[in-house]
Amino acid sequence: MKYFFLLIAVAVVAFSCNDIDQSKTASATTATGTAKEDATSLTTIQWIDSVKNFGKINEGQQLAVSYRFRNTGDKPLIIRSVQPGCGCTVADPPKEPIAPGAEGVINATFNSSGRVGANHKEIFVDANTAGTEKHTLKFDVEVIKKAE
């Protein structure tokens, strides 16, 4: 019987960090609110680094991830929300709007505990950008099991 509960626990942990449908997730980390701006307040964004590969890290390590971007439009860039794809990653959006021509950064931390093997993670960003307001940041990392 205890093996049955152990199997259930392992299944819950294994599926808890898979990509989640954004429409069903809990509230996102919000920088300045969630109201949609009209077209006159939209700007453009250039991701300086939206995809990263960190190679191998040891299990238990906290991996710091930073994504840089530039406001290439003529209106302030507002990062409305940043939503990691799972609970093993925590993201922190800029607190203030990014002025036209200025750069900003989205910082995240990946907790590798219990994540042995290849990890492909996504962070979903909602901003007042023309074309699309939804952006996806990605990173890959292989977590190596601790020697016991």
- In the chain, where the domains are located: 2-144
- Rounded to 5 degrees, what are φ and ψ at 48? -75, -35
pLDDT above 90 covers a percentage of the chain that reads 70
Rounded CA separation 69/72 (Å): 9
Q: Flag the least confident range among 25-29, 35-39, 59-63, 84-88.
A: 25-29
Mean pLDDT of 55-69: 97
- Predicted confidence at residue 98, as pLDDT, reads 97
Yes or no: say if 27 and 115 are a contact pair by the CB < 8 Å rule: no
Rounded CA separation 52/85 (Å): 15
- Predicted confidence at residue 120, as pLDDT, reads 98
Yes or no: say if 135 and 125 are a contact pair by the CB < 8 Å rule: yes
SS3 64: strand
CATH fold for the domain made of 2-144 = Immunoglobulin-like (2.60.40)
The amino acid present at 104, given as its one-letter code, is: G
pLDDT above 70 covers a percentage of the chain that reads 74
- Predicted confidence at residue 148, as pLDDT, reads 67
**Could you report the per-residue pLDDT of 22-50, keeping only the tens digit for each?**
433 333 444 444 445 467 889 999 999 99
**Could you report the per-residue pLDDT of 114-124, keeping only the tens digit for each?**
999 999 999 99
CB atoms within 10 A of CB 110: 24
Q: Which helix (H) or strand (E) holds 11?
A: helix 2-16
pLDDT at 63 over 50: yes
